[in-house]
Structure 1
């Protein structure tokens, strides 16, 4: 990586190097187990000029998102989060037309449809986009670019509200994507973006959320600069618990923006105090990542030596970063389960751990269940409470090893 994708500076410094891994959502079929896998370096760097944290764009969105393994609707808590957002946004903004970019399986826009508001999803993955259409959500199979944004505006009119949840990190052409958002939104409209907050990633050792689909990692400071590149001004920010700690950025076209809310300066002050507006807050992150790896491996090796059975729960992208970085194979993790039938019978990329249906846990009664989507701790602790009937225990690897 030779230059920053936002400002073009060549002054990039290393934050953490996680080695080389396969793309985290390319789950293997049984017939692919004897075939080679391509791996790519996973090295997070920080631009010292605009302070955007980023990894090289070694894979393309077309490789990952043409057919996608992640269906948002399988997380009950995420669907409820979307429902609450829609209820609040429609009440407060009263939009007549809502567009969601990276609308996935209609997890959010289904609530807009239910309320009788005109909407459109823009989703590049045909398979998950079809799931949205099956729910009655109008969906365009397309990547957002300045050109496609302008075409949607010409055909459907400007959107009063544009939603872009968990996609702003997934775009290597950050400037072009932001221009696409501006093309979609009305001149007096609103853009709402949810993305993981680099502050919590750093503070809580959430290094497994670094993977090839996530090209950049935002503070409010760097997000404000990114939005400005496309003619959007940050006017408010909310701190959210989702994905281990996210920010909801509210932006408007520059002419309609006005002064930013006090919450913007409050979060900027927190980031500055944590050292994220200079280099000091990044200095020991690599050492803390190494500690997470050692602690998890020590636990798994000890469990194996004692004849204990450990299985996984979930097969999220973040889990594959963790499994590959730690070098975990079937001798330490027998299998993992997932609620998404698309993944059943497949294997995790790189580590090749089998993925099966959740019912397998009750059948096998393992001693430990390693929770890979640790960000859904409350939801999954309730779902898995039955393992305590036979003395089973949950294991959370992030922010530090915890057996409960």
Structure 2
């Protein structure tokens, strides 16, 4: 299917009924923000046996609520379809593990966490973060729906419950383990279609005087840096600080502070507390500064979202033109990484093995499989040194510093790295 970009403000009456009302405020006033056509779910890598069969695709059409401004995808797939068995293991990124360790150091100091404290991480993956609390003697629990990555966490000595967070799950954990002094939710707040139920689950977990820390990609940087490849079906919504504040408030939590992070191309770390624990005007100066920056960029009104689709078209055109020119010149181009964002990029740009014969990934789970939709083989990283390609297209561009170091050996034969986002760059 040829991907198309809809015009900003386009009527969405043809969208499935489930997409016609905002999941946060219930408003029917939804405007088209970005239409990337139809793709398979980004983490459903194909085995060789499945390669001859059909793939199910779903529309990747993002809308913005004209009332509360939440940017969102319709819930066309369920979390159970994506996260019961998951291909992403956080610990394969050394920079992400380092980021988690630095967060733990800061949280211990900020909140005075010790042996009497209790920390819960929701969507704890393979224990990449909580593993740093275990040797400190801080009682902790991971809540992770994917059994396969939860097993990896338990092997690290991180107690892990296999479950999705709901208000009922939160109450059960609280009843069994007590209220949490800190609840961490990194890169999951965008992954849940029931944002209200999930937020109520966070409130159920946290102590009445406790803290909630949420990291999520910042929509401001997504727009400013044309990071459209972070749009995929398991990301149900995309947050400004304003809409994050509104979502938290709907579940009984008050935003009190924010940090701007470089992770995932630009993220926010929202610090919240139960509403009853803070008084009016509790937000920090940093909260006011970030809200002002969003307003200045036009993202506190629906017209500020116009024009993004045009910028996305330019990124696609430049990348495809480079790949076609390289092929005509007899140059070889291979990929590095097989992240979810890469599959959005590959599918929207129509890049298949004729332009990118293979990509490599450090995760053995993906080796021997094919990328969803585009059917590009995923190989071990050693393949690059064996083949000595002219160019390496870096798909997880958000890990640029880490990957430039990992691929430093490409210089030995004069190879160059290609970064597609925010604009084509060859280094």
Q: Same fold (TM over 0.5)?
A: yes
Q: CA deviation at 1:334?
A: 1.0
Does residue 71 of the first structure (1) align with residue 103 of the second (2)? Answer: no
Counterpart residue number, 1:33: 51
Does residue 105 of the first structure (1) align with residue 126 of the second (2)? Answer: yes
Map residues 58-207 of structure 1 onto 2, 5 A cutoff.
Answer: 58-95=76-113, 96-207=117-228
Q: CA deviation at 1:281?
A: 2.2
Q: Deviations over 1:366-394 (max 9, x none)?
A: 00000000000011011101101101000
Counterpart residue number, 1:267: 290
5+ residue gaps, structure 2: 1-18
Contact 1:251 1:257 survives alignment (8 Å):
no
Counterpart residue number, 2:5: none
Given candidates 328, 350, 354, the residue that maps to 2:377 is 354
SS of equivalent residue, structure 2 residue 334: strand
Structure-1-length-normalised TM-score: 1.00
Counterpart CA distance in 2 for 1:374 and 1:124 is 27
Counterpart residue number, 2:266: 245
Counterpart CA distance in 2 for 1:56 and 1:242 is 26
Runs of 4+ in structure 1 deviating by more than 4 angstroms, as ranges, are: none
Does residue 382 of the first structure (1) align with residue 405 of the second (2)? Answer: yes
SS of equivalent residue, structure 1 residue 205: coil
What is the aligned-residue RMSD (CA, Å)?
0.5
Contact 1:22 1:350 survives alignment (8 Å):
yes
Does residue 12 of the first structure (1) align with residue 30 of the second (2)? Answer: yes
Q: Deviations over 1:4-51 (max 9, x none)?
A: 000000001011100000000000000001110000000111001000
SS of equivalent residue, structure 1 residue 250: strand
5+ residue gaps, structure 1: none
SS of equivalent residue, structure 1 residue 33: helix
Q: Which of 253-262 and 124-133 deviates more?
A: 253-262
Q: Deviations over 1:292-334 (max 9, x none)?
A: 0000000000001111110000000000000000010001001
Contact 1:24 1:211 survives alignment (8 Å):
yes
Counterpart CA distance in 1 for 2:140 and 2:306 is 45
SS of equivalent residue, structure 1 residue 62: helix
Counterpart residue number, 1:301: 324
Q: Which of 90-99 and 18-27 deviates more?
A: 90-99
Map residues 217-232 of structure 1 onto 2, 5 A cutoff.
Answer: 217-232=238-253
Counterpart CA distance in 1 for 2:72 and 2:135 is 38
Q: CA deviation at 1:92?
A: 1.6
Counterpart CA distance in 2 for 1:319 and 1:94 is 39
SS of equivalent residue, structure 1 residue 19: strand
Does residue 291 of the first structure (1) align with residue 309 of the second (2)? Answer: no
Counterpart CA distance in 2 for 1:193 and 1:186 is 16
SS of equivalent residue, structure 2 residue 52: coil
Contact 1:345 1:356 survives alignment (8 Å):
yes
Q: CA deviation at 1:114?
A: 1.6
Counterpart CA distance in 2 for 1:114 and 1:364 is 43
Does residue 402 of the first structure (1) align with residue 425 of the second (2)? Answer: yes
Counterpart CA distance in 2 for 1:174 and 1:225 is 11
Query: How many residue pairs were aligned?
Result: 404
SS of equivalent residue, structure 2 residue 315: helix
Q: Deviations over 1:322-372 (max 9, x none)?
A: 000001000100100000000000010000000000000000000000000
Q: Deviations over 1:59-100 (max 9, x none)?
A: 000000000000000000000000000011012202300000
SS of equivalent residue, structure 1 residue 106: coil
Counterpart CA distance in 1 for 2:341 and 2:136 is 34
Q: CA deviation at 1:255?
A: 1.0
Structure-2-length-normalised TM-score: 0.94
Counterpart CA distance in 2 for 1:232 and 1:257 is 10
Given candidates 358, 363, 369, the residue that maps to 2:386 is 363
